[in-house]
Structure 1
Amino acid sequence: MRKIIVTEFITLDGVVESPGGNETPHPHGGWQFKYSAPEMGKYKVDELAGVEALLLGKNTYELFAGYWPGQTGAGFADPINRLPKYVVSRSLQKAEWNNSHILRDVAGDVSALKKTDGGDILVYGSATLVKALFHHDLVDELRLMVYPLSIGGGLRLFDDNRELKKFELKHSRAIDNGVLILEYRPVN
């Protein structure tokens, strides 16, 4: 069975919204760029190299599809353009980015995708999708890059829905700029 790995940039106050700056009109958008470090770039390249497909929510897919097809480079752009991409959306009518496929239902379609042959599947951002994946116990690993700042509110990965989720720490690493890389496995 394939593993679904969720990877997120997240603030100390739990916000995952607009780390790159152009995803939403958040007043502090772009907060993750102030903390770049070569080790973090290498981590993200290695993370992408370790999977065989991407799973994205509609908003993240549209943002990526508007940028990555025009980029080249062996480390990140070429692999992200080549990999199969599965976008979960009930409203998206077509997915034109190379090797893209639309899935309509998290519980059914993503569960079926996990049972197919192939390697691990990486989820970038896609907070709404990730919430649904957690709700249906479809996440096999959670990777967080925790940034040493709070931005006072915004979209969070975990809502106040009183749903208990437990995690086991798999790996942790501190970067000199204060960012923590934390890798967890859900405990069911």
Structure 2
Amino acid sequence: MGLIHIELFTTLDLVAQAPGGPDEDPEGFPFGGWQAPLLNETTGAQIAAAYEGTDALLLGRRTYDIFAAYWPKQEGGPFAGLFNSVPKYVASRGEPDLPWAGSTQLGPDLVAAVRGIRERHEHVKVVGSLDLVQTLLREKLFDRLDLWVHPIVLGVGKKVFDTGAVPTNVTLLEPPAAGPTGTVFLRYGIADGIPRTGDMSAPDRGLGNGG
């Protein structure tokens, strides 16, 4: 069985809307392109490494349209050849035109469709696609969650975890890595169970009154 990897760029308050450019999201979001001033070679190398071994993309409709308008026109760089060659699976409630070679619309049962993709591929990358991501998080239908957390707070915008998020344990798979502009790369894997609760004043916590 393959792995579903979610790749997201976020702010410190976990806004992940429209990092790439002012026109990326037409919903009136005032900070489109917030990531651009913070990009650096360290982050670029981390992103390139994260996509090594990718053999399929899983995209929401809006992200697909942005990618389909851009990547087929590109020839160089570490991503054009990869994105143009691997299968692209698109989650959409409508009947979209899918002109990008290798594109397939998923069926109405998204959960079953994603499970089928996992059976056919080793490393499936989910890029952007916040509505889709939130569904995968709610269904716990992911294996890896890569977050590039940028040192800014926006206060508005779509966040990684919405009000429908479910209690979930994750585990840090490697030490956090900070870049020169303060962006921190965090790689998590899904873990069993749900978060536990406890008492901070218990003796083994070292926070008792000492009396």
Instruction: Provide TM-score, normalisation by structure 1.
Output: 0.94
* AA in 1 matched with 2:177: R
Per-residue deviation, 1:46: 2.1
Hey, what's the Cα distance between the residues in 2 that align with 1:59 and 1:29? 14
Hey, what's the Cα distance between the residues in 1 that align with 2:162 and 2:77? 37
Match of 2:36 in 1: 33
* AA in 2 matched with 1:159: D
The CA RMSD measured in Å over matched residues stands at: 1.3
Number of residue pairs matched by the alignment: 187
Matches within 5 A, 1:18-57: 18-21=18-21, 22-24=23-25, 25-57=28-60
Contact 1:6 1:122 in 2 (8 A): yes
Q: Deviations over 1:1-49 (max 9, x none)?
A: 0100000000001100010122213111111001111121122222222
Match of 1:187 in 2: 191
Per-residue deviation, 1:74: 4.3
Hey, what's the Cα distance between the residues in 2 that align with 1:180 and 1:45? 15
Hey, what's the Cα distance between the residues in 2 that align with 1:162 and 1:23? 25
Contact 2:42 2:180 in 1 (8 A): no
Q: Does 1:3 align with 2:6?
A: no
Hey, what's the Cα distance between the residues in 2 that align with 1:162 and 1:45? 29
Per-residue deviation, 1:93: 3.3
Match of 1:107 in 2: 111
* AA in 2 matched with 1:47: A
Match of 2:85 in 1: 82
Unaligned runs of 5+ in 1: none
Distance 1:168-1:62 versus aligned 2 partners, 3 A rule: same
Identity of aligned residues (%): 36
Per-residue deviation, 1:98: 1.3
Instruction: Provide TM-score, normalisation by structure 2.
Output: 0.84
Match of 1:174 in 2: 178
Give the greater-gyration-radius structure (CA): 2
Runs (4+) of structure 1 exceeding 3 A deviation are: none
Unaligned runs of 5+ in 2: 193-211
Aligned pair partner of 1:135 in 125, 129, 138: 138
Contact 1:94 1:102 in 2 (8 A): no
Q: Does 1:12 align with 2:12?
A: yes
Aligned pair partner of 1:123 in 122, 126, 129: 126
Hey, what's the Cα distance between the residues in 2 that align with 1:178 and 1:97? 36
Hey, what's the Cα distance between the residues in 1 that align with 2:89 and 2:164? 27
